Amino acid sequence: DAMVIQNPRYQVTQFGKPVTLSCSQTLNHNVMYWYQQKSSQAPKLLFHYYDKDFNNEADTPDNFQSRRPNTSFCFLDIRSPGLGDAAMYLCATSRDGGKGETQYFGPGTRLLVL
């Protein structure tokens, strides 16, 4: 019954070692989002896809990239994680991104950088 699935729930990586977080959805939604949530802060959008159209937020560091090989899957790649990238990473979907639409969030992946 899961709609937005994120794996793994917890990820430990080393400083500077590339890491990939994955997200999949069973809703067949056109829009997929990645948010970063640091401790005691609100989620902050990194980027989103409308179908294959990639939209990067202006202040998202170059260290963060994303891939969406098909409708169901989206990946977040952190090329060289720093200690400041330790956070919860949330994936969300929306049917078409309309202003009255609901976003559906996954449970998140908590990233720890050693």
Choose, by CB under 8 A, the member of 7, 14, 26, 55 that binds other proteins. 55
Q: Is the dihedral of CA 71, 22, 82, 35 positive or negative?
A: positive
> How far apart are CB 77 and other proteins at their closest, in Å?
20
How many C-beta neighbours within 10 Å does residue 83 have?
A: 9
The count of chain residues that interact with other proteins, using the rule CB under 8 A, is 28
> How far apart are CB 104 and other proteins at their closest, in Å?
7
Q: Which of residues 87-106 bind other proteins (CB under 8 A)?
A: 90, 92, 94, 96-106
Question: HSE of 47 in the Cβ direction (CA atoms, 13 Å)?
Answer: 22
CA separation for the pair 48, 45 (Å, rounded): 8
Q: Which of residues 61-90 bind other proteins (CB under 8 A)?
A: 90
- Exposed/middle/buried for residue 42 (C-beta within 10 Å: 0-12, 13-18, 19+): exposed
Contact footprint for other proteins (CB under 8 A): 4, 31, 33, 35, 42-45, 48, 50, 53, 55, 90, 92, 94, 96-108
